[in-house]
Every structure is written in C-alpha cells, then in structure tokens.
Amino acid sequence: MKKISIVIADDHTLIRDGIKALLQSIDEFEVIGEATDGEELVQFIDTLDPDIVVVDITMPKKTGIEVITEVKKYNSRVKFIVLSMHDNPEYVLKSVQAGALSYLLKNTDHEEIVKAVKAVSAGQKYFSPDIYSIILNGLANPELIKGNQLSEALTKRELEILREVSMGLSTKLIADKLHISVRTVETHRINLMKKMEVHNSAELIKKAMDLNLI
C-alpha cells in the first residue's frame, strides 16, 4: 500500500522533530521532507510532490499562508494542514480562504493530528470544535471577512497612515512623523477613503474600527 507522503514546515527544530516522530510512528505515513522557511517549502513541494504539507504560519521568507496561496495557483493536488500556535480568527480565516483543509493548534493532542492527516489525505476538511466555531463565526460575520480582504488590499503605507489618522494627527504631523510630504499623505488619505468607500476622516476611522483594521 502506498504511504501518505508528508512534508513538514516549521522554523523550530524541536517542533519539526516532534511532528516527524509522531507521523513516522504511523505505518501509513512517510515524512519525505522538512523545510525551515517558506521559500524552502515551495522548493520541496515542487521537487518532492508530497500528498500532505503540515505548515506553520509564521515562518521566515514566506509565511505559511503565502505558501498555500502561491502553490494552490498551480498545484491543486497537494493538501495543506496548518499547525499553528495562533487561534486568531484572522489567521484561521485567511488559512482556510487560501486553501488549507485543516487548521490545528500546536497544543492539539497527537491523536487529533493523526486524524487530521488521514481526513485531509482523503480530501476531507478537519477542524477542532474551537477552530470550527471561529470559521462559522467568520462566515456569519461578513464584516470580519471584509476586513481581512481589505487589509490585504491596503498597502503597508496606507495602513500606517490609517493608524496615524485614527490617533487624531493632522496631515502635517503625519507627514513630519513619517518623513514624507503633505501631498503624499493627502494622496494616501484619498486612496484610503476610495478603497473603504467613505467620504471623510470620521467615517474612515469608524469603518476601520468596525473592520478591526486599527
């Protein structure tokens, strides 16, 4: 019987060793690679073509979510399980939206990890009750999803200026603080209002707060 091939990606050696020992103890599983950062993981996926990838979110060079998003554009066969210390709804929703079939916390017991790998290898989704509740809440709360999408649409500088505007700073003070021109700040402010579909700074701040952007 062909074994389920697995690549593990985590920048912490102890975590990788623990996951590998667990998975290798199951006859059906075979760990064929271990990546320490996102770029290395993409290379392993391309060369090893694993069935399953167990990936952390916060890794050097490319995050787990970035890897899932990138790989899913050209490889629909490989299946992803996110194993993270974060139960932040934003991370959970972004992982699922990117294409992860399972999201587990690092304090998950060994039995559940094994169940997740078996389920995902069969093309099924697998989430713990707590994570499933987060997903359902996100689906029932369009504003939360909209906030996630909008945060991706805004540039780093726009988010930076949005935070400064929310603190009540004037255009001149923001320009001085960020070492950019007043005109540049105004341009970013106008772009922010267009993207967020508001007409003034008060509406901008309120909507940013509603969408958990600040």
92 plus 168 within the same structural domain? no
75 plus 127 within the same structural domain? yes
pLDDT for the residue 31 = 93
Q: Residue 196's closest CA among 186, 209, 185?
A: 209
95 plus 190 within the same structural domain? no
pLDDT for the residue 149 = 54
Number of structural domains (the chain) is 2
88 plus 112 within the same structural domain? yes
CB 129 within 8 A of CB 112: no
CB 94 within 8 A of CB 148: yes
76 plus 166 within the same structural domain? no
Of 140, 158, 181, the last residue of a domain is 140
Per-residue tokens: 154: 């805004």
78 plus 100 within the same structural domain? yes
157 plus 134 within the same structural domain? no
151 plus 79 within the same structural domain? no
Strands ordered across the beta sheet of 126-127 = 29-35, 4-9, 52-55, 79-84, 102-105, 126-127
15 plus 98 within the same structural domain? yes
Of 90, 105, 140, the last residue of a domain is 140
The DSSP 8-state label assigned to residue 9 in this structure reads E
- Dihedral sign (CA 66, 102, 23, 79): negative
Nearest-angstrom CA–CA distance, 94 and 158? 20
- Domain boundaries, position 73: 4-140
CATH of the domain at 170: 1.10.10.10
133 plus 182 within the same structural domain? no
Of 140, 169, 195, the last residue of a domain is 140
37 plus 87 within the same structural domain? yes
Per-residue tokens: 125: 């989704």
User: Biggest alpha carbon distance in the chain?
Assistant: 69
**Main-chain phi, psi angles of 99, to 5 degrees:** 130, 5
CATH of the domain at 105: 3.40.50.2300
**Main-chain phi, psi angles of 110, to 5 degrees:** -60, -40
94 plus 68 within the same structural domain? yes
CB 46 within 8 A of CB 52: no
The parts of the chain modelled with pLDDT lower than 50 are: 140
